[in-house]
């Protein structure tokens, strides 16, 4: 056995960073993610034998290479990520590579990747946390039980046969239900009128005051108009006050994703990808550095040494006045996992301006966001002066206010939105008893507005508030429901597709617990209790499967008896027998089939993005379909007859009703790669629907979403609807993709 020491991490990027730090005497290798998982083509869980799981090696070549690397090592450090998934990887590596010499193996937790932190971690190795491993195993088994057993039922019920494409996830289903419920609220919303009263006084400068509250009765408007027209307007009270604005806590995973979405227009998934790069290490001034601490955390705790470093920087850079009077610390929410610090710069002295030349635009923007947020936590409060005026007019009170900043405090580095009355000017000399000149009265008629759709950031905020998911899963939840075609990102917001509504209602009817936030939150708490050693994995899985198996059996029994456990009827009548047609699903999307099937086998295609009005168990489509039928189709290249949109085994296509010629669905957008072909819709079992050049195989250009037009900004790419990122350009160097 040699004296070499081996460090194993998941990521090749992290391996390169640690290699630069450790030097001679160390070898750093990557496991390339999980080394074991449940099998792909079978359940892999024996529910009758204590939910024993079949863990299979994902890539034997990787494991073989790692075995060779550790065979003669004096010590092996398992430095996978410091969370449940990382702990499970460390455990699997220990089992696969231990070979009876486990005393050589030690667990190393890298909460930040800097030379000092790495040396400190290696000097204080520990053991694999088996409770964390148990929690990860329980989560993986739960997800497999739901996904592997409900998903086939979805396809059997909605399509009549099994196929890949439809899925139900333990946590994703609740997120989808939130989006669908919000859409139903918007759809059923009835706007109500109300009035706001504003008085504009002809003083120097002029100012406005508003009547407190809203008026909802039309008859009250006229009564109030007459009363105010005859009233004297007298200042009743003038109050001056200081408004303090305190900095928010440092980022945790959810708040980082929300801020990056709203300020940088980054999707949660992209945010985590960039944060992973900053954590694992980038080249700065010829040295490889991990720039931020671990990015999957729900703790706002910060190490005392980091607070001290931040306060020294603030004192030197901004002066003592900008330093908070005492070190500021924040309190964690209930059941937050305190294993990791908040997300912060590993070295706060590395300012965004200093590192930006060495980073990509996205890395620089995200690092700047994290750096500013952390530094702001140790800065003084911002102070504003506000003047509030109350004006009496008969029996009514009107209010006006104005504010201005006195001291910027933390807003010097972390810009915040203006106060509602910031920048408003009030005349000098306002004092109690002063009678004001008669104002110009305005009765502004408005309408109540429906709730807004969830954005990606808003959905994450909702999931966090309800206790659903964990820092490591938020981005995945938001991504999966879009990739499955259940949700579209439209103008920055999430809109459910008809397929999303159908899947949600199926789960709501037959597996209601999977779409209930309280139940899902309790499951997350159970996983936390397993991690903390307060609950047993078998107990949690058994309690879950007791009700779950009964619901599975009921649906399976109905299918075996030839019954239809679930259907969504439409207001469209079958053209052959007059029965209502129902929504059905096949690989490329949705279509209508006669509800009397198999007696009547009539089908009808549904155009993409068709407008609809959804009700549980029923959808209104007839009006939108009539409009679509009136629109002329593309002429058949053979006979000139307008072609019709059809839906087949391999997705959508155009078909001629006269000569039966077929053609792919066109986009009208020229291929940016060859400049000759047109981008048309294609389908594959692996990728689902996508768009590709019709000159294939001569040109292999393809896009994951519908092409819209040639990019007006870079002139080289194509704007398309990306399933994960919304509208974007296909050209990776386009300036529009830097934001």
Token pair 């079978």 in the structure block, residue:
42
Residue pair 679/664 in contact (Cβ under 8 Å)? The answer is: no
Torsion of CA 729, 686, 677, 734, to 10 degrees: 10
CA distances from 150 to 107, 537, 561, 668 (A): 37, 22, 18, 39
Residue pair 670/678 in contact (Cβ under 8 Å)? The answer is: yes
The angle formed by the CA atoms of residues 673, 703 and 479, to the nearest 5 degrees, is 150
Beta-carbon-side half-sphere exposure of residue 137 (alpha carbons within 13 Å): 25
The angle formed by the CA atoms of residues 522, 454 and 611, to the nearest 5 degrees, is 120
Cα–Cα distance for residue pair 422/384, rounded to 1 Å: 9
**Consecutive H or E run containing 228:** helix 218-230
Burial of 569 (0-12, 13-18, 19+ CB in 10 A): middle
Q: What string of H, E and C letters represents the secondary structure of 440-465?
A: EEEEEEEECCCCCCCEHHHHHHHHHH
Beta-carbon-side half-sphere exposure of residue 464 (alpha carbons within 13 Å): 22
Residue pair 66/31 in contact (Cβ under 8 Å)? The answer is: yes
Residue pair 457/514 in contact (Cβ under 8 Å)? The answer is: no
Q: Is the dihedral of CA 308, 313, 319, 323 positive or negative?
A: negative
Cα–Cα distance for residue pair 633/654, rounded to 1 Å: 9
Cα–Cα distance for residue pair 541/139, rounded to 1 Å: 9
For residue 435, give both structure tokens.
């009678």
Residues 6+ apart with CB under 8 A from 414: 247, 372, 373, 375, 376
Question: Number of helices (H) and strands (E), helices first, in the chain?
Answer: 18, 35
Residues 6+ apart with CB under 8 A from 345: 291, 292, 293, 367, 370, 371, 374
Token pair 């790669």 in the structure block, residue:
673
For residue 426, give both structure tokens.
């009030």
β strands within 518-595, DSSP E: 569-573, 580-586, 589-594
**Beta-strand pair 52-53/666-670:** unpaired
Cα–Cα distance for residue pair 28/65, rounded to 1 Å: 12
Neighbours of 578 (CB within 10 A): 10
Residues β-bridged to residue 390:
237, 399
Torsion of CA 36, 40, 42, 47, to 10 degrees: 40
Residue 545 known to be catalytic: no
Residues 6+ apart with CB under 8 A from 188: none
Catalytic residue chosen out of the listed positions 77, 279, 294, 591: 294
Residue pair 493/455 in contact (Cβ under 8 Å)? The answer is: yes
For residue 70, give both structure tokens.
């550790």
Q: Active-site residues: which are they?
A: 294
């Amino acid at each position: 056995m040699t004296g070499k020491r081996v460090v194993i991490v998941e990521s090749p990027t992290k391996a390169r960073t640690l290699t630069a730090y450790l030097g001679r005497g160390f070898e750093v290798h990557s496991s390339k993610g999980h080394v074991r998982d449940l099998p792909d083509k079978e359940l892999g869980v024996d529910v009758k034998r204590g939910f024993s799981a079949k863990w299979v090696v994902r890539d034997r070549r990787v494991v073989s290479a790692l075995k060779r690397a550790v065979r003669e090592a004096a010590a092996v450090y398992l430095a996978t990520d410091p969370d449940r998934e990382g702990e499970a990887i460390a455990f699997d590596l220990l089992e696969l590579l231990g070979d009876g010499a486990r005393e050589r193996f030690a667990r190393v937790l890298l909460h930040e990747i800097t030379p000092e932190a790495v040396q400190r971690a290696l000097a204080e190795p520990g053991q694999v946390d088996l409770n964390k491993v148990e929690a990860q195993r329980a989560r993986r088994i739960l997800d497999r039980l739901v996904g592997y057993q409900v998903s086939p039922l979805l396809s059997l019920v909605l399509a009549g046969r099994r196929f890949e494409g439809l899925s139900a996830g333990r946590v994703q289903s609740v997120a989808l239900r939130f989006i669908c419920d919000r859409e139903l609220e918007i759809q059923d919303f009835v706007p109500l009128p109300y009035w706001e009263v504003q008085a504009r006084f002809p003083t120097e400068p002029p100012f406005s005051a508003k009547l407190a509250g809203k008026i909802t009765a039309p008859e009250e408007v006229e009564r109030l108009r007459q009363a105010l027209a005859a009233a004297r307007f007298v200042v009743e009270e003038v109050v001056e006050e200081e408004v303090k604005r305190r900095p928010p806590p440092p980022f945790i995973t959810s708040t980082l994703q929300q801020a990056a979405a709203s300020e940088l227009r980054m999707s949660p998934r992209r945010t985590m990808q960039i944060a992973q790069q900053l954590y694992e290490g980038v080249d700065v001034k010829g040295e490889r550095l991990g720039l931020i601490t671990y990015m999957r955390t729900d703790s706002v705790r910060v190490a005392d040494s980091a607070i001290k470093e931040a306060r020294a920087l603030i004192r030197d850079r901004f002066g003592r006045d900008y330093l908070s009077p005492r070190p500021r610390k924040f309190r964690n929410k209930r059941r937050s996992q305190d294993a990791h610090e908040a997300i912060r710069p590993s070295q706060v002295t590395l300012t965004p301006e200093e590192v930006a030349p060495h980073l990509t635009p996205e890395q620089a923007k995200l690092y700047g966001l994290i750096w500013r947020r952390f530094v702001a936590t140790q800065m003084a409060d911002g102070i504003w002066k506000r003047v509030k005026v109350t004006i009496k007019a008969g029996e009514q009170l009107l209010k006006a206010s104005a504010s201005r900043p006195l001291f910027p405090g933390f807003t010097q580095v972390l810009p915040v939105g203006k106060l509602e009355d910031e920048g408003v000017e009030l005349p000098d000399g306002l004092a109690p008893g002063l009678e004001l000149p008669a104002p110009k009265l305005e009765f502004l008629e408005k309408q109540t507005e429906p709730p807004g759709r969830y954005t990606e950031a808003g959905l994450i905020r909702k999931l966090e508030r309800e206790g659903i998911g964990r820092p490591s899963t938020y981005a995945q939840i938001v991504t999966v429901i879009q990739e499955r075609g259940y949700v579209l990102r439209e103008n920055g917001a999430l809109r459910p597709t008809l397929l999303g509504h159908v899947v949600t209602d199926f789960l709501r009817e037959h597996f209601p617990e999977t779409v209930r936030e309280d139940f899902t939150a309790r499951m997350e708490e159970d996983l936390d209790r397993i991690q903390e050693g307060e609950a047993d994995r078998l107990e949690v899985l058994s309690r879950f499967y007791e009700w779950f198996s009964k619901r599975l059996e009921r649906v399976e029994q109905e299918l075996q008896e030839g019954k239809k456990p679930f259907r969504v009827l439409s207001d469209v009548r079958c053209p052959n027998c007059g029965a209502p047609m129902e929504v059905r699903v096949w690989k490329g999307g949705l279509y209508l089939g006669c509800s009397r099937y198999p007696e009547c086998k009539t089908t009808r295609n549904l155009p993409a993005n068709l407008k609809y009005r959804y009700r549980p168990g029923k959808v209104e489509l007839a009006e939108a379909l009539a409009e679509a039928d009136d629109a002329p189709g593309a002429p058949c290249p053979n006979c000139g007859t307008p072609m019709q949109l059809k839906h087949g085994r391999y997705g959508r296509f155009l078909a001629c009703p006269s000569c039966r010629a077929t053609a792919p669905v066109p986009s009208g957008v020229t291929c940016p790669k060859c400049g000759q072909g047109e981008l048309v819709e294609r389908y594959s079992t692996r990728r689902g629907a996508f768009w590709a050049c019709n000159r294939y195989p001569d040109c292999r250009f393809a896009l994951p979403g519908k092409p819209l037009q040639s990019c007006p900004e870079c002139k080289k790419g194509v704007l398309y609807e990306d399933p994960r990122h919304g509208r974007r350009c296909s050209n990776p160097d386009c300036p529009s993709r830097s934001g």
